[in-house]
Amino acid sequence: MGKAQLILGSSSPRRRDLLSNLGLTYTTCKPDTEELPRPGEQPLAYAQRNAAEKAAWVVSHHVDQGLFQAGFLVISADTIVVLDADILEKPRDGAHAAAMLGRLSGRSHTVISGVTLTLHPGVIGHSDPVCLTKTFAVQTKVFIKPLSPREIAAYIRTGEPLDKAGGYGAQGIGSYMVERIEGSYSNVVGLPVAEVAKELESTFGYPLWDDI
């Protein structure tokens, strides 16, 4: 296939940075979807469903608005932190962040990113175009050092935890508390770059490295 227009279905600056590191040219679109686990829904399925719904929203938005006549390829993702089968979303406030960090202290947890890539062939000559879609998930195990109440309080005062799933940012100030990881680092940041690059080339035939 020729070069489809890439769209990152996210407003996350961290995902933008990770995708930009591949030398890709893309636009961004923030999906307007609800992120709420269904009763009995497992974390892996939840992350993948969120990613798929975000991609579907972006596709629908661009088609409805007539923003693209030619083909476009959407990349969307949802990253969650899981501890004891509980999904730790972004904390509601400082007290909630402190509770999360207290639970993570001295233990390991899992970061899961659900990712969906959807290729829309364009609308010219396609009354009902069929999208090629691939959804997958990547898991990384993260080990957090023991945290004292004093350092948890100091970290919360930086404001960083309030915008991060699980209440910490491995790529920011919170890097000091990460003892080690098992798996993809970029997955912890918000987008498993190696796996995304592989799918772009193998599943979608996107000539990724021509842009570098």
Interval 63-106: pLDDT, tens: 777 666 568 999 999 999 999 999 998 999 999 999 999 999 99
With CA atoms as reference, report the closest residue to 56 among 124, 127, 7.
7
What are the structural domains of the chain? Answer: 5-211 (3.90.950.10)
Q: What are the pLDDT digits (tens) for 28-38? A: 999 999 989 99
Mean pLDDT of 46-62: 95
pLDDT at residue 40 tops 70: yes
Distance separating alpha carbons of residues 51 and 76, to the nearest angstrom: 6
- Among candidate residues 64, 78, 163, 211, the one labeled active-site is 78
Active site residue 32: no
Q: Which residues of 155-172 are buried (b: 16+ CB within 10 A; e: fewer)?
A: bbeeebbeebbbbbbbbe
Which residues partner with 119 through β-bridges? 73, 132
pTM of the model: 0.90
Q: Phi first, then psi: what are they for 180, rounded to 5°?
A: -165, 165
Statement: residue 45 has pLDDT above 70: yes
